[in-house]
A and B are shown apart, each in its own frame.
Chain A
Amino acid sequence: MTSRQFLIVVAAAQGVLLIALIILIILNRWVRLRRRAKVHPRRVALDAVMQRWTLNQAGAADVLRALARLPVPLAIDALVTWSARVAGERWQELSHALEHQWWARVVRANSRSARWWKRLESARFLSVAATSHDIGRVLRLLRDHHPAVQIAAATTLERVVSPVLVTAALDQLPFLGPTVQAYYASVLKRARPAVLRHLQQLFRRLNDPRLPRIIEFAGRLQEPVLREPFTTLATHADPEVRTQVARALGRFPHAESVAALGFLVQDEAWPIRAQATRSLGMIADPATLPLVRDALRDVEWWVRLRAGLALTRFGGAGRNVLLEAEVSAHAEARDMARLVLGLSPQALAEYAA
């Protein structure tokens, strides 16, 4: 083939592709409009049936029929939306009825799909329609490698109480990002007894590299029975563990917490000092005021900022310390005191958060 012939072939192929693309763009619009026109009334009909069903004016069979008429993703969306509006027992009836629907069986089978969006669809469906028969599937989805699937699967814990699932979710925690962890924490709060039992076991594994993340999560639960293990861990060799302990103890106003924080506020690592100072401010025990005053003269800016903000929580005594620092000879403490005293209450709240 000569280069000229080659170019002719390429030009012809391009011409065909150009026309195909333009047709594709126009067809895409047309198909979307048609689909919307077709599906929208069905969605409205489903909402109406759901409404009647919640008022006991329609049976579950009507709801199932209306759901089956929708494309699967839209049916799942509708289920997720309505699950928040219907009482638990009544919703469970629907969940059990859904077990025998052909499309629901396909969605359940998708929990093993190689494509993550299929697994996500399955996890979303199970998050509102899982029954005791689905524990194995949810377990698999909780251990999925895709975070979106994990998040959807974790939502199941709001509806299905299972120690097996709680343990699996807790074991996943150290490998999750902080935000997803926080989401897990909000979900796992509902299964508190099982969570606390498993956490106390995890706290005993002192050399476990996952310990800092477990402490971070446990701190979010603000459960009084966890205070004691926290104070014990204040002398742990790992600075990350001590940082998390210093952060968590602020949520436990207790003499032992204050004692542990008094120790941590003198740690050689500045992130630990900063967290401990912040926690002392949260507890605001007048006896710890000298410690926070010293922290205002710390060599590290972040510790000084935390100390300045913590002092605002000590009421008049803390304010006096800041006013003294504002005219003191210590330039860095003086600047920080000026900054903190100049902040409005709302700005202080935002800084403290």
Chain B
Amino acid sequence: MTHVIQVTDLVILAYFLGLNSFYALLLVLSIPEIWEQTRLAEDEDFQRLMQSDALPPITILVPAHNESATIETSVTAILTLEYRSFEVVVVNDGSKDDTLERLRHAFELYEVPRTYPEGIATKRVRAVYRSRTRTRLLVIDKENGGKADSLNAAINASRFPLVIAVDADTLIEPDALLRLTRPFLLSSKIAAVGGTVRVANGCTVGDGRVTDARVPRRFLPGVQVVEYLRAFLFGRLGWNRLGGSLVISGAFGLFRKEYLLAIGGYRVASVVEDLDLVVRLHRYLRQRRVPYEIPFIPDPVAWTEVPESGRILSRQRERWHRGLIAAMWLYKSMLFNPRYGPVGLIAMPFFTFGEALAPLIEVLGYVITIAGLALGHVNVAFALLFVLVAWGYGMLLSLWAVVLEEASFRRYGRVGDLARLLLYATLENFGYRQRTVWWRLKAFFTVWKHRQVWGEMTRKGFKSTGKQVV
């Protein structure tokens, strides 16, 4: 028994060291990346170029399912984005509420014949509408088929070479599209670009725009601000340098349409369609030896409402993790496969062993430590020291994300907000982290539920000018 505990302890320690060394590498790589990206974001010549007529036109895909509370505000905000040439395709995915009626009333929709070719098979499209007041708007009403199916229907109807998927509950900053196209101007090899998603809870929202960024006072949404900063500002920036980012947020990512059509669009059976899409994109482009890049850039920002209740957050995290496990299993042939370059050799192993299996290892660590303590095989001081180091490292990573935010974009200007960020970064490891581990662990038992569903989220809606989203 002692031997088993000692060996398991060693394995866990080695895993802990390996994983944290990799995080440290990401952390180091994120420094030059954010430095360069901030420089480019501030370049005035670029800003002038971005105001020219020559920008590539973009289709914004907005899937909507029971989004009655926010749809009008969201679509209005999207239609007033600062960009020369774009169209908005809203897909009503068989909503049971009055999403379509709200759209019809707000934008004076009229039915038009459906003439575009169906590049990707989708559930039956009931009708296609254009707006009398907003010529850039196209609305598709279709039978319920899930988010991926809606996005595929929107891709079919899109006219432009670049498409961006935006959640109906997401608020995009006015200049975010301009910024998001920057990599497409810099390089002809870009297959897709991801932008930053931030937490809208607690912020002041006016006319579909975040006018005052605040860190929520409540712990649960507040700690998610730190999580999002960590995930976007150092995780994904670090991956830029390693050439193998696997995640472009489904709420905010710009793709070259020809590649989406080539891979058959979003996979309807997938639980987390954005991760699945990016992995397939890598696979397709690598197999065909197409030179490509899928970068993340931090300055284009979209704001999203995050769950405020533990119940809904747990479902969200369980679903995300279920999607991660399913995707890693489905594309296991890419794992350690040199044919897929850094994606097969670095990203897939990291996401499989460092992300997907992490809750199992962490729980195993807790169990072994407790068992070892109970049986007297583990020294109490050593166990406490180990936990302290593990949690301290988590705090360091979170604080580093706050440093990057402060050194670059500084969205949270008030001292009170900064203090709350520091507080949440410190407290995250005491209770919250363990809860997320439990939620993610549950995904291992539900992973075989393949059916794609819309993530359940109780929306409070973005109120009009001067009101806070609470």
Inter-chain contacts of B13 with A (CB < 8 A):
3
A14-B396, A15-B392, A28-B406 known; A148+B46 contact, CB < 8 A: yes
Point out the residue from B52, B395, B403 that lies within 8 Å of A25, measured CB to CB. Answer: B403
Q: Is A237 part of the binding interface, using a Cβ–Cβ cutoff of 8 Å?
A: no
Residue of A nearest to B136 (CB): A350
Q: Which residues of B contact A180 (CB under 8 A)?
A: 49, 185
Contact digits for A132-157, partner B, Cβ 8 Å, 1 yes 0 no: 00000000000000011001100100
User: A interface, how many residues as a size bin?
Assistant: 35 or more
Q: Is the CB of A338 within 8 A of B115?
A: yes
Q: How far is the CB of B75 from chain A (nearest CB, A)?
A: 17
Interface contact A21-B399, CB-CB below 8 Å: yes
CB neighbours of B181 from chain A (8 A): 179
Q: Does A353 sit at the interface, judged by CB under 8 A?
A: yes
B40 to chain A, nearest CB (A): 6
A204 interface residue, CB < 8 Å from B? no
Residue among A151, A335, A344 making CB contact with B115, cutoff 8 Å: A335
B427 to chain A: closest CB distance in Å?
13
Cα distance A234–B396 in the bound complex, in angstroms: 64
Report yes or no: A183 in contact with B49, Cβ–Cβ below 8 A.
Answer: yes
Find out whether the CB atom of B418 lies under 8 angstroms from the CB atom of A29.
Answer: yes
Pair B115/A301 contact, Cβ less than 8 Å: yes
Are A11 and B385 touching (Cβ within 8 A)? Answer: yes
For the complex, give the distance between the alpha carbons of A28 and B215 in Å: 19
Would you call A346 and B135 a contact (CB within 8 A)?
A: yes
Task: Using A25-B403, A339-B113, A342-B113 as known contacts, say yes or no to A177 and B187 having CB atoms under 8 A apart.
Answer: yes
Dominant secondary structure of chain A at its interface with chain B: helix
What is the minimal beta-carbon distance from B144 to any residue of chain A, in angstroms?
26
Least CB distance, B143 to chain A, in whole angstroms: 21
Residue A129 CB within 8 A of the other chain:
no
Q: Which chain A residue shows the least CB distance to B422?
A: A22
Known: A22-B399, A182-B52, A335-B115. A28 touches B407 (CB 8 A): yes
* A3 to B, closest residue via Cβ: B13
Chain A interface: which of B53-61, B145-153, B352-360, B462-470?
B53-61
Say whether B445 faces chain A, with CB atoms less than 8 Å apart. no
B188 at the interface (CB under 8 A from A): yes
- Of chain B, the residue at the smallest CB distance from A343 is B130
Give every chain A residue within 8 A of B186 (Cβ-Cβ). 147-148, 177
Q: Would you call A350 and B49 a contact (CB within 8 A)?
A: no
A195 contacts chain B at the CB level, 8 A cutoff: no
- By the criterion CB–CB under 8 Å, are A148 and B112 in contact? no
Chain B residue with minimal CB distance to A10? Answer: B389
B98 → chain A, closest Cβ, in Å? Answer: 25
Contact partners of B132 in chain A: CB under 8 A:
344
A177-B115 CB under 8 A given contacts A18-B396, A183-B52: no
Q: Is the CB of B422 within 8 A of A147?
A: no
Q: Is the CB of A18 within 8 A of B418?
A: no
Query: For the complex, is B388 an interface residue (Cβ under 8 Å from A)?
Result: yes
Interface residues as binary, A330-346 with B (CB distance below 8 Å gives 1, 0 otherwise): 00100110110011101
Q: Which residues of B contact A301 (CB under 8 A)?
A: 115-117
Contact A11 B52 (CB under 8 A): no
Q: Complex: how many Å from CA A342 to CA B36?
A: 47
Q: Is the CB of A24 within 8 A of B39?
A: no
Closest beta carbon of chain A to B13's beta carbon, Å: 7
Known: A179-B56, A182-B54, A301-B117. A147 touches B389 (CB 8 A): no
- Interface membership of A178, Cβ < 8 A: yes
Q: Contact: A18 with B115, CB < 8 Å?
A: no
User: Are A25 and B406 interface neighbours, CB within 8 A?
Assistant: yes
A259 within 8 A of B: no
Residue from the list B85, B187, B388, B406 in contact with A147, Cβ < 8 A: B187
The answer to whether B49 touches A24 (Cβ under 8 A) is: no
**For residue A117, which residues in chain B have a CB less than 8 angstroms away from its CB?**
36, 39
Distance of B321 from chain A, by nearest CB (Å):
27
> Which chain B residues (32-52) contact chain A, with CB distance < 8 Å?
36, 39-40, 43-46, 49, 52
B184 within 8 A of A: yes
Q: Which of B123-156 contact A (CB under 8 A)?
A: 130, 132, 135-136
Measured between alpha carbons, how far is A15 from B52 in the docked complex, in Å?
50
Q: Is the CB of B40 within 8 A of A148?
A: yes
Q: Residue on A with the closest CB to B186?
A: A147
Taking a contact as CB atoms under 8 Å apart, the answer to whether A342 and B45 are in contact is no
- Chain B residues lying within 8 Å of A8, measured Cβ to Cβ, are 385
Residues in A with CB closer than 8 Å to B136 are 350
A232 interface residue per 8 A CB criterion: no
Residues of chain B from 142 to 174 with CB closer than 8 A to chain A in the complex: 159
- Whether B418 lies near A178 (C-beta < 8 A) is no
- Interchain CB contact under 8 A, B45 and A151: yes
Query: A187 to chain B: closest CB distance in Å?
Result: 10
* Interchain residue pairs A-B with the least CB separation, the first 4: A182-B54, A347-B135, A14-B392, A335-B115
12 A–B contacts, CB within 8 A, in A order: A3-B13, A4-B381, A11-B392, A18-B396, A22-B422, A28-B406, A151-B46, A179-B52, A183-B52, A335-B115, A347-B130, A350-B85
Residues of chain A at the chain B interface (Cβ within 8 Å)? 3-4, 7-8, 10-11, 14-15, 17-18, 21-22, 24-25, 28-29, 77, 80, 116-117, 120, 124, 127, 147-148, 151-152, 155, 177-183, 186, 301, 305, 332, 335-336, 338-339, 342-344, 346-347, 350-351, 353
* 17 further interface pairs, Cβ-Cβ under 8 Å (given A186-B52, A332-B115): A4-B381, A11-B388, A14-B396, A18-B399, A22-B422, A24-B403, A25-B402, A28-B407, A116-B36, A147-B187, A151-B49, A179-B56, A179-B181, A180-B49, A335-B115, A338-B112, A351-B159
